[in-house]
Amino acid sequence: MSGRDPDRRRALLDAADRVIMKEGPEVSMAAIAAEAGITKPILYRHFGDKHGLYQALADRHVRTVIAQLRPRLAAPGARDGARGGGAAESGADLRGRAGAAIGVYLDLVSANLNLYRFLFHRAGAEDSRVRSHMTALVRGLGEELGAVLTAERTVPDPTRAQVLGHAFVGMVQTTGDWWLDHPEVDRVQVVEGLVDVIVAALTPGAARHPPPPVTAERPARRPPAGGHG
């Protein structure tokens, strides 16, 4: 069946990319079909329905972003530092890795602005299944980052590593989304601000101190007013 032909699907996704980049995130399905030289029903036949097309585009582009980020998150320098590098060396490496990963992400989304807004804003708003799928892909990156933090003993506690991994991914995504609407803000300023937060959270001694234990003691009762001693 032609709908299962990977080369044909790839060509249709290429056509969708071109028209979205050219016309913006509100492009119609008819325009995508026209760009591919087919009718809208035939376009849907290749992907099942509009949801199938959205999901195929999400898989293509979110996985591309993740593939670009992975080498920055798993750089050898961090493992070298974990084996005995000094604190200054380790801190510098952490800043460098975080800055490189964030810079790559911002460059990718800003260079593909219409595609980013099509996937994260339009498709997610129109289709709850696509929104759930995108959330799962982003969550997977948070889990992967948490695993890296644990494996390199940057954050030895696996639970805390997962909390921070998801927090960092969410922070970068939402800040990047804000930055795309504020092009007057210098990219370097955005990267440095995010790196400062990440380094502060991962620097030894910066962890939040646990709250004091709750005791069952009750405050001393005051004698009733006018009572006898």
Q: What is the DSSP letter of 2?
A: G
Rounded to the nearest angstrom, the gap between the alpha carbon of residue 20 and the centroid of all alpha carbons in its chain is 22
Long-range contacts of 216-222 (CB under 8 A, 24+ apart): none
CA angle 188, 194, 195 (to 5 degrees): 85
pLDDT score at 150: 92
> d(Cα 12, Cα 42) in Å, to the nearest integer?
11
For the segment 169-176, the average pLDDT, to the nearest whole number, is 95
Distance CA 20, CA 33 (A): 12
- Average pLDDT on 37-65 reads 88
User: What b/e sequence results for 156-186 when a residue is b if at least 16 CB atoms lie within 10 Å of its CB, and e otherwise?
Assistant: eeeebbbbbbbbbbeebbebbeebeeeeeee
Pairwise CA distance, residues 195 & 97, whole Å:
9
Q: Is the pLDDT of residue 148 over 80?
A: yes
3-class DSSP assignment, residue 141: helix
Q: Which contacts of 148-157 are long-range, i.e. CB under 8 A and separated by 24 or more positions?
A: 148/73, 148/74, 149/202, 152/78, 152/79, 152/82, 153/82, 154/78, 154/82, 154/94, 154/202, 155/202
What pLDDT, on the 0 to 100 scale, is given for residue 103? 95
What is the structure's pLDDT at 83? 42
Report the percent of the chain where pLDDT is more than 90. Answer: 47
Confidence band for 136, pLDDT divided at 50, 70 and 90: confident
pLDDT tens digits for 181-201?
999 999 999 999 999 999 999
Residue 225 confidence (pLDDT): 52
pLDDT of residue 125: 83
Helices 187-202, 158-180: inter-axial angle, 10-degree rounding: 170
Share of the chain above pLDDT 70, in %: 79
pLDDT in tens, 52-108: 888 899 888 888 888 888 888 765 544 444 444 444 445 568 889 899 999 999 999
Q: Which of 42-56, 61-75, 137-151 has the lowest mean pLDDT?
A: 61-75
Q: What is the mean pLDDT of the chain?
A: 82
Q: The domain 1-48: what is its CATH number?
A: 1.10.10.60
pLDDT digits (tens, 9 = 90+) for 14-32: 999 999 999 999 999 999 9
Q: Are 95 and 199 in contact (CB under 8 A)?
A: yes
- Which residue is listed with tokens 């009733």? 224
Helix (H, G, I), strand (E, B) or coil at 155: coil
Higher pLDDT, 132 or 186: 186
Worst-scoring range by mean pLDDT, 17-31, 40-54, 109-123, 213-227?
Answer: 213-227
pLDDT at 2 over 60: no
In the 3-class helix/strand/coil scheme, how is 177-224 assigned residue by residue?
HHHHCCCCCCHHHHHHHHHHHHHHHHCCCCCCCCCCCCCCCCCCCCCC
Residue 138: closest CA among 114, 172, 111: 172
Say how far apart CA 155 and CA 146 lie, in whole Å. Answer: 8
Residue extents of the structural domains in the chain: 1-48, 59-202
- What does pTM read for this prediction? 0.76
Q: Which CATH number fits domain 59-202: 1.10.357, 2.20.28, 1.25.10, 1.25.40?
A: 1.10.357
